[in-house]
């Protein structure tokens, strides 16, 4: 089935990306994870990024006119799986979140000045960015409930509020901020706007890199808490029409969930590979391998089936987004979000269990993913919200009025 979705161009590209990852990334990734990110960013990662450009593998998601390979969403999804097999894969090829979403957003909705000032440097890998939406005092599952405001005054926006889990804020050159610009609008989905804020703007304050599962992180691997204190930017920094923040967020998050889900499938494949290698090499008693046990064989069979099914579900959603747009694929997007997140957790848990005590250590990549990818069931909408979207859609087909809230 996958071959039907793989054009000749992509069939030639996929082995090149796999070879690059196997030769240059996997051998050094554990050492890299224990190295300060800022050291990596201007050393090992910088060299690999230059290598990606030299090999003409840079920015597969971007149009050729912007220095990319011009892959469609469906095509890039298959490359994203390969890159997802290492925590550094997407960064090396300049298609890591949140930069990939910001690139797409500015490419589609940015002004010419915004593109020349910010987008070009971002697509060339000269700068990084962040996306500032989630707030500590408001539910991330309800984007219409937002406390950060942007008041227009004398041709400028004055921004006040607090954000957190702003991924990669540490070292970013600019943030795209979601803020309320029209609090009295009767339509709650038209109250907020997206505004571009350079991080050197007075009033922009990176409060801290939030510790996550015992790690604070830095650089691109961090999650920042940001205070906006009378942070003032020109009116021209508005992205799209005023009040279109929610609409733009949906445009950004639809393809973004494809990127996330295919990255998770890449993690699943790498963890599954490590699981199987451990199963055939680990002796539990003289001459008896771990993989000979029925429980382990059941895990392997179930995981293989579930990973394969997840991949096809994501590619189907990507195809629908390309054909009909993100809004039309809302149910499919919600379905893959909670389904693939569940398979990811199950795969990582089984891989660690098969590795025993080794799986708990940082001598394998598994413990890193177990810590950092538990959030897969939370960010971009918690699983429970997406399950509700799917259930209401199904019940509506049976004639239930799903607009009534309990």
pLDDT tens across the length of the chain (406 residues): 555 567 788 989 999 999 999 999 999 999 999 998 888 888 999 999 999 999 999 999 999 999 999 999 999 999 999 999 999 999 999 999 999 999 999 999 999 999 999 999 999 999 999 999 999 998 877 778 899 999 999 999 999 999 999 999 999 999 999 999 999 999 999 999 999 999 999 999 999 999 988 887 888 889 999 999 999 999 999 999 999 999 998 877 778 889 999 999 999 999 999 999 999 999 998 889 999 999 999 999 999 999 999 999 999 999 999 999 888 899 999 999 999 999 999 999 999 999 999 999 999 999 999 999 999 999 888 999 999 999 999 999 999 887 765 5
Residue 335 three-state SS: helix
Q: Which two tokens stand for residue 360?
A: 């708990």
Q: The tokens of 168 are what? A: 């990669």
pLDDT of residue 217: 81
**For residues 232 and 181, is the Cβ–Cβ distance under 8 A?**
no
Say how far apart CA 275 and CA 353 lie, in whole Å: 9
Region 2-123: CATH code = 1.10.540.10
The CATH number for 246-397, chosen from 2.60.40.10, 1.20.140.10, 1.10.274.10, 1.10.8.10, is: 1.20.140.10
What is the pTM for the complete model shown? 0.93
User: Domain spans of the chain?
Assistant: 2-123, 129-239, 246-397
Class of domain 129-239: mainly beta
Phi-psi region of 32 (alpha: psi -120 to 50; beta: other; left: phi over 0): alpha
The pLDDT value recorded for residue 255 is 85
Q: 3-class DSSP state for residue 185?
A: coil
């Amino acid at each position: 089935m996958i071959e039907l979705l793989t054009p000749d161009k992509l069939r030639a590209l996929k082995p090149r990306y796999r070879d690059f990852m196997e030769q240059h990334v996997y051998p050094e990734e554990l050492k890299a994870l224990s190295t300060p990110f800022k050291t990596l960013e201007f050393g090992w990662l910088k060299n690999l990024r230059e290598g990606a450009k030299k090999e003409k593998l840079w920015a597969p998601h971007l149009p050729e006119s912007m220095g990319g390979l011009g892959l469609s969403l469906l095509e890039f999804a298959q490359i994203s799986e390969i890159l997802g097999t290492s925590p550094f894969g997407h960064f090396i090829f300049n298609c890591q979140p949140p930069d990939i979403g910001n690139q797409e957003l500015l490419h589609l909705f940015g002004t010419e000045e915004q593109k020349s000032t910010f987008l070009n440097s971002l697509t060339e890998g000269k700068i990084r960015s962040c996306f500032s939406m989630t707030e500590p005092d408001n539910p991330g599952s309800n984007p219409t409930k937002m406390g950060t405001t942007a008041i227009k005054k004398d041709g400028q926006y004055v921004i006040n509020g607090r954000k957190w889990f702003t991924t990669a804020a540490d070292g970013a050159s600019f943030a795209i901020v979601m803020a309320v610009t029209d609090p009295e609008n009767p339509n709650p989905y038209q109250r907020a706007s997206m505004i571009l804020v350079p991080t050197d703007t007075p009033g922009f304050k990176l409060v801290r890199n939030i510790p996550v599962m015992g790690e604070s992180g830095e650089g691109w691997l961090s999650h920042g808490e940001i205070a906006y204190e009378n942070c003032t930017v020109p009116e021209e920094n508005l992205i799209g029409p005023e009040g279109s923040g929610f609409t733009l967020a949906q445009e950004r998050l639809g393809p973004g969930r494809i990127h996330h889900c295919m990255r998770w499938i890449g993690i699943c494949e790498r963890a599954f590979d490590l699981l199987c290698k451990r199963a055939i090499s680990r002796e539990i008693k003289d001459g008896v391998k771990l993989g000979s046990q029925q429980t382990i064989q059941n895990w392997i069979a179930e995981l293989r089936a579930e990973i394969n099914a997840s991949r096809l579900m994501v590619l189907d959603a990507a195809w629908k987004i390309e054909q009909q747009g993100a809004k039309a694929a809302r149910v499919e997007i919600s379905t893959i979000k909670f389904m693939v997140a569940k398979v990811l957790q199950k795969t990582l848990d089984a891989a660690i269990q098969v590795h025993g005590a080794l799986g708990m250590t940082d001598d394998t990549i598994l413990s890193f993913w177990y810590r950092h990818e538990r959030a897969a069931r939370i960010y971009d909408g918690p699983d429970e919200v997406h399950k509700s979207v799917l259930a209401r859609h199904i019940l509506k087909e049976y004639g239930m009025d799903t607009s009534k809230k309990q």
